[in-house]
Amino acid sequence: MSQSSNRVADDVRFVAKADYLKTLASLREEGFEMCVDLTAVDYLTHPGRNIAPEVLGDIALERFEVVVNLLSLSQRRRVRLRVQIAESDAVIGSAFDLYPGTEAMEREVFDMFGIKFDGHPDLTRILMPEDWQGHPLRKDYGIGNIPVQFKGAAS
Amino acid sequence: MTATENITPSQVGDITAAGTNEGRQELQLRKDVSAKEILRGSGAVLRMSESEVAALAGTQSEDQTMIINMGPQHPSTHGVLRLMLELNGETVLRCKPVIGYLHTGMEKTGESLTFMQGGTNVTRMDYASPLNNELVFALTTEKLLGIDQDIPERAVWIRMLLSELNRISSHLLFMATNGMDIGAVSMMLYGFREREEVLRFFQKVTGLRMNHNFIRPGGVAADLPAGWRDEVLSLLDALPARLAEYEILMTGQPIWRERLQGVGVITRDEAIALSATGPILRSTGLSWDLRRDMPYLRYDKVEFDVIVGSYGDAFDRYSIRLNEIRESMRIVRQVLDAMPQGDYRIQDKKVTPPPRGRIDESMEALIHHFKIFTEGFKVPEGEAYVAIESPRGEIACYIASDGSATPYRMHVRAPSFVNIQTMPHMMRGGLVADAVAVISSVDPVLGEVDR
């Protein structure tokens, strides 16, 4: 990105959804002890996202992207995984068994984007109320026209 | 008309809340949860031996235990943290933090604010160390713009000065609240008193005590005011004696040590597995500080020590923070010596508004000023993740840009949000009274947890 940058460029890897947990496990073996961040992006209105085809390989871009940042404390290295999640099949394996620290982060992604994590022990909403409708960080979740939702209102 | 009828189909994802009942977020009775969740609560995922798991999982019958709420309104929970505790007598068997009471959708808000305005949003997340939030947001934006190597030296050193002073003020706040939680109520007054002196300096520099929006993409908002050096020096001269008072008041006191030593112990492997960073990780003896291990700004040009503990208990976390104040003061002194002259923001017309004086003389400057404050500046397509060491651990900003003037997605990796996960493990088997010490030693800021 930066021409004048003398730093090493970020290590970003695109991973197929089927290989996601396998890749995590092998990276963990490689010395990435900590999953420092897990989040998602909804590329509904920006599907192209300007990625060189050679980086992408045979992975097709989808609406959702789960972004996982791993950190190696021993090697002082970071790696970022980008996993494509189709809207029709918004389910991905949970990294919980490999990195228990992803528990809250996966719940947040589920809450905000509606992406399910298969194998997560307690996949409930974490920030929004339990009976909330919709997933706020999705791009088609209207900002400014959120209906008033009351707890326990008769329906 | 009921609430649910107002919702358009697009707002309801394919997975709605319909599948779960009210209260699923809460701590469930043992008979209602899966074995896996019980085991998670008991720490089985942290590679306990099978016999340890068996000893923990099956021994409690429900009629001996009780689930109580602690918070969200409770003086020791540092805001609106709600903990559900399963108790057997006074012993905590399980604990589940329930969060979200302060959720205001700041990440969503960030998508509709320009990169110029974004600082006002992120600075309100971790309100105890706002300058670090602004810094990480500015660094990420600069990385996307490709100007991260071109920031003037003076701006970089001003950022370091403010970041370290903010670490001091944040840790002083911890000293105050930690003291109050444990019962040293006068400590609260002392901690707030010293913190206020740091905030007074911030007010002189930025105009505000908190939520400064001072560190902006491209540099800082203004140069340091006249006489700033004397202000910092008088602060640095006053603090050591106060810290020595804290030592007398707390560190050496048998009551204080009894309340903290051996309480809330976490091992190094547990801390790493739970992605804990900052003083929690360092208290386990692991020397990890992004300022030293992955330097940003000019931290590779200053000398300081990374403070580590050895037992991973609440006392270690207390003394780490106390000594980090001293290390930060050491850094601030070096910053005072090294502070270069020069510009306090990048002279890149794209991101820097013209100086106030030019607006009266030049039509172009007026238009430029108007456009930058109404439309903002465009940031190239791409994504970037930048992490820095906040007083609470690794704070990071992940921005995906679609080439417009607002972030397409702005995510803040909040250290408190992640660190809260360590609480159940620290509390298990301890007393309710120790739960207060554990919450305090994790030092969560709920504005950042819920964002």
Shortest distance between the Cα of B129 and any Cα of chain A, in A, equals 20
Q: Measured on CA atoms in the order B382, B383, B389, B391, is the torsion positive or negative?
A: positive
Q: Which domain holds residue B357?
A: 106-450
Q: Does A140 contact B11 at a Cβ distance shorter than 8 Å?
A: yes
pLDDT band at B95 (very low <50, low <70, confident <90, very high): confident
CATH number for the domain spanning B259: value is 1.10.645.10
Instruction: Kindly report which listed range (A145-149, B117-121, B283-287, B358-362) carries the lowest average pLDDT score.
Output: A145-149
B273 lies in some domain: yes
pLDDT band at A3 (very low <50, low <70, confident <90, very high): very low
Q: Does A105 contact B16 at a Cβ distance shorter than 8 Å?
A: no
Neighbours of B199 (CB within 10 A): 19
Residue type, B360: D
Identify which has the larger pLDDT, B393 or B30: B393
B74 lies in some domain: no
Q: What are phi and psi of A99, to 5 degrees?
A: -130, 95
A positions 60-79 inside 8 Å of B (CB)? 67, 69, 73, 76, 78
Specify the residue for token string 């609480």.
B423
pLDDT at B9: 40
Q: Are B303 and B320 in contact (CB under 8 A)?
A: no
pLDDT at B131: 93
Residue B412 at interface with chain A, using a CB cutoff of 8 Å: no
B302 lies in some domain: yes
Name which of B127, B138, B126, B118 is nearest B210 in CA terms.
B127
pLDDT band at B280 (very low <50, low <70, confident <90, very high): very high
Cα A54 to chain center, whole Å?
A: 22
Spatial separation of the C-alpha atoms in residues B396 and B410, rounded to whole Å: 11
Angle between helix B153-182 and B228-246 (nearest 10): 30
pLDDT at B7: 42
Q: Measured on CA atoms in the order B300, B304, B309, B315, is the torsion positive or negative?
A: negative
pLDDT band at B252 (very low <50, low <70, confident <90, very high): confident
pLDDT at A57: 78
Q: Work out the percent of chain B whose per-residue pLDDT is above 90.
A: 39
B7 lies in some domain: no
pLDDT band at A153 (very low <50, low <70, confident <90, very high): low
* Domains held by chain B: number: 1
Q: What are phi and psi of A91, to 5 degrees?
A: -135, 140
B116 lies in some domain: yes
Q: Work out the percent of chain A whose per-residue pLDDT is above 70.
A: 86
Structure tokens at A89: 């099949």
B98 lies in some domain: no
pLDDT at B229: 92
Give the CATH class of A12-118: alpha beta
B377 lies in some domain: yes
Assess whether pLDDT exceeds 80 at residue A22: yes
Residue A130 at interface with chain B, using a CB cutoff of 8 Å: yes
Q: Measured on CA atoms in the order B97, B100, B101, B103, is the torsion positive or negative?
A: positive
Domain boundaries along the sequence of chain A: 12-118
The rounded mean pLDDT for chain A is 83
Q: Are B160 and B296 in contact (CB under 8 A)?
A: no
pLDDT at B11: 40
Q: Does A5 contact B149 at a Cβ distance shorter than 8 Å?
A: yes
Q: What are phi and psi of B430, to 5 degrees?
A: -90, -175
Q: Integer distance in angstroms from the first to the last C-alpha of chain B?
A: 31
B170 lies in some domain: yes
The rounded mean pLDDT for chain B is 84
pLDDT at B29: 73
pLDDT at B14: 39
